[in-house]
C-alpha cells in the first residue's frame, strides 16, 4: 500500500454516528437532523482533504463536529455513568507508522479526539486516562470545560430510566422521535480517511454506556478494538457493544483479514460482525483502504453514516440501502 510517495490518490472520508435498532419513519424531522449533522461532519473533514491536508487532520475535524453535537454520544450530550457523570474516551491512529493515541475516563476535555491526537504526537505513550489525561491535555493547550458542559436533560432522563430498570443501556436506547425512547442505538462516532498521499487514518470517540460503572472503558479508546489504521491494509472505526468488540479485536481483526488473507473489505467487515454476533454482540464498522475503496457494514436495524470523496458531495444514510446526497441548506 502507499506511504508518502507524493503520488496523487483519491481522497475519501467515511464516518459513522452509531448503530442500533432504530426503526424508519418515526419522525422525519429527527432523521433529517441526524443527516444534517452527519453532512456537517463530512464537509468539515473534506475541507481538510481537499486543501491537501492529512488524513489525521480530516478525521479530527470530522469527529470534533460530532463531539460538539448533542445528537451523538460523544463529547457534549454523552451518556451518564451510574453516578451521573460523563466519562469520555477516544482514540486515533495513522496508517504510515501506526502511531496512535488514546484517552479514557476523561470528564473535562471538550474534544477527546484532540486529546487522543495530542497523546499520539506530544507524548511517548499511546493511552492516558482520567486526571492524568486531563492535566496533560491542559498543558497542551486543549480546551478544558466544566463537566457540566457535557450534560443534557435527555441523558439524565435516560439514566433514571436505566436505573429504574436496573439495566445498562447502549446508547441511545431510543427511536428517532424521542431522545431517548424505546429502540436501541449505539451512538459512538468515528471516521476513517485517506488523503491525497494515500495515507490512512482512523479515529473513534464515545461517552460509553448509560448507567455504566464508573471507570468502565469500552472499545472506542482501545487500539485494535475500536480503532485501527495501517497503510498496508485498511483504516477501521467501530460502534456497538464494546465489550464484544474488544473480545474479538474487531478493528485489527478486520485489517488482518485484508492484509494477510487478501479478503475484500466488505467480506472482512462482515466476517468480523459475524464473530461479534456469535458471542452476543452487534453494531457496525466503517472500513477504508488507500485506494479509496470503502465499506459501511452493520448487523443492526440502522447505522448513522456518511461518506464524501473528491467530488465534494456528502452522502448520508441511516437505514439499509445506498447513501444519498445530503440536502443543501
pLDDT at 189: 98
Give the cell for residue 70: 448533542
pLDDT at 9 (0 to 100) = 86
Longest Cα–Cα distance of the chain, Å, equals 57
- Binned at pLDDT 50, 70 and 90, residue 233 comes out as very high
Mean local confidence (pLDDT), 60-77: 96
Q: How confident is the model at residue 175 (pLDDT cuts 50, 70, 90)?
A: very low
Instruction: Respond yes or no: is residue 152 known to be catalytic.
Output: no
Q: Virtual CA dihedral for 65, 68, 69, 70, nearest 10 degrees?
A: 160
Give pLDDT tens digits for 140-170: 999 999 999 999 998 899 889 888 887 765 5
pTM for the full model? 0.93
Which residues make Cβ contacts (< 8 Å) with residue 140, sequence separation at least 6? 115, 118, 122
The pLDDT, as a whole number, for residue 171 is 54
Q: Is the pLDDT of residue 6 over 70?
A: no
Q: How many residues does the chain have?
A: 329
Residue 185 pLDDT grade (very low, low, confident, very high; cuts 50, 70, 90): low
- The pLDDT score that the predictor gives to residue 169 is 59
Distance spanning both ends of the chain, measured CA to CA: 38
Alpha helices in 213-312 (DSSP H): 242-247, 250-261, 265-278
Q: Treating both helix axes as pointing N-terminal to C-terminal, what angle do 55-67 and 28-50 enclose, rounded to 10 degrees?
A: 150
Q: Are 12 and 193 in contact (CB under 8 A)?
A: yes
What is the mean predicted confidence (pLDDT) over 68-78?
95
- Asked if residue 34 has pLDDT above 90, the reply is yes
Q: Which residue has the higher pLDDT, 17 or 326?
A: 17
Residue 138 has a pLDDT of 98
State which H helix or E strand residue 14 sits in. strand 12-20
pLDDT of residue 59: 99
pLDDT, average across residues 27-37: 85
Q: Which helix (H) or strand (E) is 31 found in, with range?
A: helix 28-50
Q: Are 91 and 223 in contact (CB under 8 A)?
A: yes
Catalytic site residue from 188, 206, 241, 248: 188
As a whole number of angstroms, the distance between CA 17 and CA 201 comes to 17
Angstrom CA distances, 43 to 90, 164, 212, 300, 311, stand at 21, 40, 33, 26, 11
Instruction: Summarize the confidence of residues 49-56 as an average pLDDT.
Output: 98
For all residues of the chain together, what is the average pLDDT? 91
Grid coordinates of 280: 452476543
**Is 190:67 a contact under the CB 8 Å cutoff?**
no
Amino acid at each position: 500500500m502507499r506511504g508518502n510517495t507524493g503520488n496523487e490518490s483519491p481522497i475519501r472520508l467515511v464516518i459513522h454516528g452509531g448503530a442500533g435498532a432504530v426503526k424508519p419513519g418515526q419522525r422525519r424531522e429527527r432523521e433529517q437532523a441526524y443527516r444534517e449533522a452527519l453532512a456537517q461532519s463530512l464537509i468539515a473533514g473534506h475541507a481538510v482533504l481537499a486543501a491537501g491536508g492529512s488524513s489525521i487532520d480530516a478525521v479530527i475535524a470530522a469527529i470534533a463536529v460530532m463531539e460538539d453535537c448533542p445528537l451523538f454520544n460523544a463529547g457534549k450530550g454523552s451518556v451518564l455513568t451510574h453516578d451521573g457523570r460523563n466519562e469520555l474516551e477516544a482514540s486515533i491512529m495513522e496508517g504510515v507508522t501506526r502511531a496512535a493515541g488514546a484517552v479514557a475516563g476523561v470528564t473535562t476535555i471538550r474534544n477527546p479526539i484532540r486529546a487522543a491526537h495530542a497523546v499520539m504526537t506530544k507524548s511517548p505513550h499511546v493511552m492516558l486516562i482520567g486526571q492524568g489525561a486531563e492535566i496533560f491535555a491542559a498543558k497542551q493547550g486543549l480546551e478544558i470545560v466544566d463537566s457540566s458542559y457535557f450534560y443534557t436533560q435527555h441523558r439524565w432522563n435516560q439514566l433514571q430510566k436505566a436505573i429504574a430498570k436496573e439495566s445498562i443501556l447502549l446508547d441511545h436506547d431510543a427511536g428517532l422521535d424521542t431522545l431517548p425512547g424505546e429502540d436501541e442505538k449505539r451512538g459512538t462516532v468515528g471516521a476513517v480517511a485517506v488523503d491525497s498521499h494515500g495515507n490512512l487514518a482512523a479515529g473513534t470517540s464515545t461517552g460509553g454506556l448509560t448507567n455504566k460503572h464508573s471507570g468502565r472503558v469500552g472499545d472506542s479508546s482501545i487500539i485494535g478494538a475500536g480503532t485501527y489504521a495501517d497503510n498496508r491494509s485498511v483504516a477501521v472505526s467501530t460502534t456497538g457493544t464494546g465489550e464484544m468488540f474488544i473480545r474479538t479485536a474487531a478493528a485489527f481483526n478486520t485489517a488482518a483479514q485484508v492484509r494477510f488473507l487478501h479478503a475484500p473489505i466488505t467480506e472482512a467487515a462482515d466476517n468480523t460482525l459475524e464473530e461479534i454476533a456469535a458471542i452476543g454482540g452487534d453494531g457496525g464498522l466503517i472500513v477504508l483502504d488507500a485506494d479509496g475503496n470503502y465499506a459501511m457494514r452493520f448487523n443492526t436495524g440502522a447505522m448513522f453514516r456518511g461518506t464524501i470523496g473528491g467530488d465534494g458531495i456528502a452522502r448520508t444514510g441511516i437505514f439499509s440501502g445506498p447513501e444519498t446526497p445530503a440536502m443543501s441548506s
